[in-house]
Amino acid sequence: MLGTCTVPPSLLEQIIASGEVRVVTRNTPATFYYGIDEPRGIDYELAKGFADHLGVKLHMYVAERFWQIFPDVIEGKAHMGAAGLTVTVPRKKIVDFSPAYQTVRQEVIYRRGTRKPYGLQDMLDGELEILADSAYVATLENARRQLPQLTWLENREVGVEELVKRIVSGEIDYTIVDSNIFDLLQHSYPDAGEAFAIGPETPVAWALPKTTDTSLRESVSAYFAELHATGALNAILDRYYFSTKKDFDYFGSRAFVRDFESRLPKYKEYFLAAAIRTDFDWRLLAAMAYQESHWDSNAVSPTGVKGIMMLTSLTAEMLGVEDRTDPEQSIHGGAEYLVRVIKKVPERISEPDRTWLAIAAYNVGYGHLEDARVITQIQGGNPDSWQDVRERLPLLSEPNWFERVPRGFARGHEPVIYVDNVRRYYDILRRMTADENSAADEAEILADAAPL
């Protein structure tokens, strides 16, 4: 009697057959959070891309507590953990890791205006509270060998952002946060400051089950190799960390948070209504308005542009805006003008490049943008890439270049600064409004809004 045996399907084959990949994560600005329109976060975008790569659905869920991530992967509840996880020696003993997709440092956070510590020895008389079961625990345990007096509290009930809030409110003196997460949080909590970094940079990767079946790990590795090769990984990271590339502006960020709380609420319904009519994210329109006027409806520039969107008299007349200082008219006028500009940008250009190019044209004029795209092409760059065009726009103020294009001289550095600032404000607004549920507000505004 001949026995038959079949080779059981690999883990990757099981995932594909089920039509779903299960991923456990956590809520942070750098990993995963619910935006108004859709889920966002670096790990979400990477995981969604991997699911699409496999041709399956993504089932991503948030661990109730950070410490549950690794058991969920080990026990098979999740196929992987994508949660901004640092690769440490103890963790490598219980899980495998994907290729790293960024590196971070552990940073001690304190409240600005209080005594800044320059080392752990300066924190002995203060209250240090950290995320339970995080990599910070091992760091502190190692430091305590040289500093036995060092103590800390491990919190299992809250996340990193809540600990930063507690720093700002004065409930605790210090915490530890990964540098990538604090880079995203500092604009929303400008009174929280970085004191010093502990240890070297550490790679960040996905946690995978530690098993002899390497099919999933090999597939994930191939996926990340493709992201690196095509530049897609850098594009994702740039979308989230763009606002952190410049030096942190403490006073500017404090002013933004203050204006977010005191000025924006007066105009939010107008931004929502304009967004519904034009299909732009209201926060993008609000970011442009902040760059233009700091949400001041009575703003006037030395050149005579006025209002919250700082419209010229010619543009206002073209758009039918009778009173440029009327915030509702100004916001709707600015949004409509952006619609007209983006329609000129070739549809073949993918997002977000098409939007950034349109916003540059909103500032400098579409003709000058086209000149910069021509220069980009002459120099061998990609005229459909905002980054490539951004590098050439300043050349419009140099005679050996502006004399070679149809529209001539322009202050090409101004649209670069303009788009950079809009992107930064937009990024901050998306994070600061990520937990809002605006569906009811939008429906009410839509019911009252008349078409343009």
pLDDT at 57: 96
Residue 431: the pLDDT is 81
What is the distance between the terminal CA atoms of the chain, rounded to a whole angstrom? 81
Given the DSSP bridges, would you call strands 192-209 and 95-97 parallel, antiparallel or unpaired? antiparallel
Shared domain check, 165 and 25: no
Residue 3 in domain: no
- CB neighbours (10 Å) of residue 439? 9
Out of 28-37, 164-173, 175-184, 228-237, least confident range = 28-37
Give the tens place of pLDDT for each residue, 386-421: 999 999 999 998 888 988 999 888 888 889 989 988
Question: Quick one: 117 and 236 in the same domain?
Answer: no
Q: Residue 442: what pLDDT? A: 42
- Domains in the chain, number: 3
Same domain, 350 and 265: yes
Segment 189-211, tens digit of pLDDT? 889 999 999 988 999 999 999 99
For 38, other C-beta atoms within 10 Å of its C-beta total: 8
Do 174 and 231 share a domain, yes or no? no
Average pLDDT (321-331) is 95
pLDDT in tens, 99-151: 999 999 999 999 999 999 999 999 999 999 999 888 899 999 999 999 999 99
| Per-residue pLDDT at 437 | 45
Tell me, yes or no, whether 428 lies in a domain. yes
Q: What is the pLDDT of residues 297-321, one digit of tens each?
A: 999 887 678 999 999 888 999 999 9
Q: CATH number for the domain including 194?
A: 3.40.190.10
Do 295 and 276 share a structural domain?
A: yes
Q: Which of 220, 242, 264 is the last residue of a domain?
A: 242
Q: Do the domain assignments include residue 210?
A: yes
- Residues 420, 372 share a domain: yes
Look at residues 27, 21, 31 and name the one whose alpha carbon lies nearest to residue 77.
21
Radius of gyration of the chain (CA): 25
Question: Does position 445 have pLDDT exceeding 50, yes or no?
Answer: no
414 lies in the same domain as 337: yes
Higher pLDDT residue, 185 or 63? Answer: 63
157 among known catalytic residues: no
Least-confidence region, from 25-34, 225-234, 279-288, 438-447: 438-447
Do 219 and 234 lie in one domain? The reply is yes
Average pLDDT, the chain: 88
Can you give the pLDDT at residue 397?
A: 85
Residue 83 falls within a domain, yes or no?
yes
Average pLDDT over residues 158-176: 92
**Is 257 a member of any domain?**
yes
Of 107, 194, 269, 292, catalytic: 292
* Nearby residues of 426 by Cβ (< 8 Å), 6 or more positions away: 281, 283, 284, 287
Residue 419 belongs to what domain range? 253-448
Same domain as 271, residue 218: no
Which tens digits make up the pLDDT trace of 64-97? 888 899 999 999 999 999 999 999 999 999 999 9
Does residue 167 contact residue 192 with C-beta atoms inside 8 Å?
yes
Cα–Cα distances in angstroms (integers) from residue 38 to residues 32, 44, 92, in the given order: 11, 11, 33
Distance of CA 415 to the CA centre of its chain: 21
Residue 436: per-residue pLDDT:
64
